[in-house]
Structures are given as C-alpha cells and as structure tokens.
Amino acid sequence: MAAHLLTIFIAAILTHNVALTYLLGMCPFVSLSRTTKTAFGMSMAVIFVITLTAVINWPVYHKLLVPNNSQLIYYIVFIIVIAASVQLVEMIMERFFPPLQAAFGIFLPLITVNCTVLAVSVFMVLREYSYLATVVFAFGSAVGWMVAIMIVAAINEKLALIGNVPQGLRGTAIIMIISGIIALAFLGFGGMVDVK
C-alpha cells in the first residue's frame, strides 16, 4: 500500500509531470515564469488549492454523484467546487492572514482557470483512485508543477541577465523552448516507476 502511494507520488513529480508530460497549466506557466518570485507564489497557491479541491471532490463524486447516478454532470460540480473553494480560501486569508493574502492573494483568482486543478480531479475519476491515492496524487502533481515552473523561471531569470535573446523570441516563445529542453530531460526519468 505504502509502496503504491510512493509510486504514485514519484510518478506525479518526475515521470508523469503534469506540466512537462501532460502539458497542463500552461497559461500561468508561461505568464508567471519570468521571475522565480512570482513562480514560487503561484506554486504555493497551486499546491494548496489542488490538494484542497481533490480532498473535497473525491467524496463529492463517490458519495454524492455516484449513488444518485449523476456522473453526467460531474464537470459542472467539480468546477463549482473549485471556484467556491478558491473564493473561500481568499476570504479566509483576507480575514485571518493578511500578510499571506498580500503575498499570494493575486494568484488565487488565476487558479480557477489553471487547468491542472480540474485535470487532477478528472484524472482521479478516470483512474479510479482510492481516497488516499487521490490525496497523494493531487499533492504530488502540484509539487511536480512547482518543480517544472521553478526550473524554467530560474533559467529565464538568468537568461534575462544576459539579455541577447532575439526580439521575436522573447517572452512566450523562449519559455516554450526552455520548457521543451527541460521536458526532454524529464523523459530520462521514463521507466523509473510503472503506473497505468
């Protein structure tokens, strides 16, 4: 059991990285990987929200939708849960942790459209994970996203210091190329663990 969970965790970070293998969460990935500071802020918010929504969505799907034969509408239910929990987290942060709100607050509304969040919940249904496996998978995926964006942001920051990137390649295009090289490197992890 523990070995199975560890496999899921390692796979989610290295061999089946959400950003570099499944190409998810690319819009914030491209727009926020200019500096490590914003990349880190977004990553923290992503880890928190992905884990939280997976923890909520699993019981909602298995205890509420399946017994009522309502799996058809699970996209709508998941997206509402995600939007509502982001809103809730924002309100709690505003009320009780103002310094945290000042640091991460701007990233929260953006998370609703980070496709990684919805994808983790949809994968959890498609792969029929147990509750514990879902939590580990969600946390691992979010950490994997963070690893990817931090590497790319760090390279991008150093590249900005040199500053001789061709004009048309600046911004989105160079981030794509860097991500491609990192994704190529991550292919090297392939076959390390075996998951379906």
Partner 1 sequence: MSAKTFLDAQDRKILKNGYTREHPIFVVGLGICSALAVSNKVENAIAMSAGVTFVLLATALIISSLRSLIPQRARIITYMITIASFVIIVQKFLDAFTPAISKALGAYVALIITNCILMGRAEAFYVTRGVRHSVMDALGNGIGYSTTLIAIAAVREVLGFGTLLGFKVTPAGWENLVVMTLAPGAFFLLGTAIWISRTISERSGGEEGE
Residues contributing to the site for partner 1 (CB under 8 A): 20-27, 30-31, 72-73, 75-76, 79-80, 83, 112-115, 117-119, 122-123, 126, 166-169, 171-177, 179-181, 183-184, 187
CB nearer to partner 1: pick between 102 and 181 = 181
Nearer to partner 1, 30 or 56 (CB): 30
CB of 189 to partner 1, least distance (A): 12
At its nearest, how many Å lie between partner 1 and the CB of residue 99?
26
- The answer to whether the beta carbons of residues 170 and 30 sit under 8 Å apart is no
Residue 32: CB minimum distance to partner 1, A: 12
- The residue (of 99 and 164) whose beta carbon lies closer to partner 1 is 164
What is d(CA 37, CA 98) in angstroms, rounded to the nearest whole number? 19
Q: Write down the least CB distance from residue 3 to partner 1, Å.
A: 26
Cα separation values, 8 from 101, 118, 140, 172, Å: 32, 18, 8, 31
Question: Which string of DSSP letters, residue by residue, matches 92-138?
Answer: HHHHH-HHHHHHHGGGHHHHTT-HHHHHHHHHHHHTT--HHHHHHHH
Instruction: Name the nearest CA neighbour of 8 among 114, 155, 135.
Output: 135
Residues found in the chain: 196
Nearer to partner 1, 2 or 72 (CB): 72
